[in-house]
Amino acid sequence: MDEVVITEYDPRWPSLFAQESARLRTGLPPHLITRIEHFGSTAVPQLAAKPIIDLLVGVRSLAMAQQVAVTPLAQLGYAYWHENPDPRRLFFVKGLPPNGPRTHHVHMVEPHSPLWERLRFRDYLCQHADEAVRYAQLKYRLAQDLAGDREAYTRAKADYIESVMQKVRQ
């Protein structure tokens, strides 16, 4: 089972991101990547999170990435989610159960993807500790209530995230 587990902030998360970002830049064709960002809860200092480093990888083209990135990422320990229902991104998991605990997610998107807006959510939480505390409380509660259903946990956070994004956009 792939349970939702929330842990206290780990100060190693930024360096784990930097290490993995460097591995991706070395392992993938250099003409493919436009930028790599640390996003998700592990990118927010002091925020409790699932201990999974999320990397937002900008690529010139998803079609190109699908052709040239799947094999090199597999060599780096990533499983490609072929059945991903979102055609606007490619999604890879390092440590996909039952092969161990998840440690990293790679979200590959093109330059104009709406997923880039999530960096604004990250930055808002970094600048507003009170909002980060509210988010952590919600995550702990949802993880307790929905521990065995990762998709339901993610869906249950959507309204809160959208409410914060409305603040960000103002």
If you average pLDDT over residues 128-149, what whole number do you get? 96
Tell me the mean pLDDT in the region 118-138: 97
pLDDT at position 100 is 81
Residue 24: what pLDDT? 98
Token pair of 154 as six digits: 């993610």
Q: How many CB atoms lie within 10 A of CB 154?
A: 13
Following DSSP, what letter does each residue of 144-161 receive, concatenated?
HHTTT-HHHHHHHHHHHH
Overall average pLDDT of the 136-152 stretch: 94
- For domain 13-169, say whether CATH 3.30.460.10 is its number: yes
pLDDT of 1 reads 52
Query: Nearest CA to 107 among 47, 20, 4?
Result: 20
pLDDT tens-digit series, residues 39-83: 999 999 999 999 999 999 999 999 999 999 999 999 999 999 998
**Integer Cα distance of 36 and 59 in angstroms:** 9
| H helix or E strand, kind and range, residue 8 | none
Question: Does the structure show a pLDDT above 90 at 2?
Answer: no
How many distinct helices (H) and strands (E) make up the chain? 6, 5
Instruction: Report whether pLDDT(98) > 90.
Output: no
pLDDT of residue 34: 97
pLDDT tens, residue by residue, 15-43: 999 999 999 999 999 999 999 999 999 99
Q: So what's the pLDDT on residue 120? A: 97
pLDDT for residue 137 is more than 80: yes
Question: What DSSP string runs through 24-81?
Answer: HHHHS-TTTEEEEEEESGGGSTT--B-S-EEEEEEES-HHHHHHHTHHHHHHTTEEE-
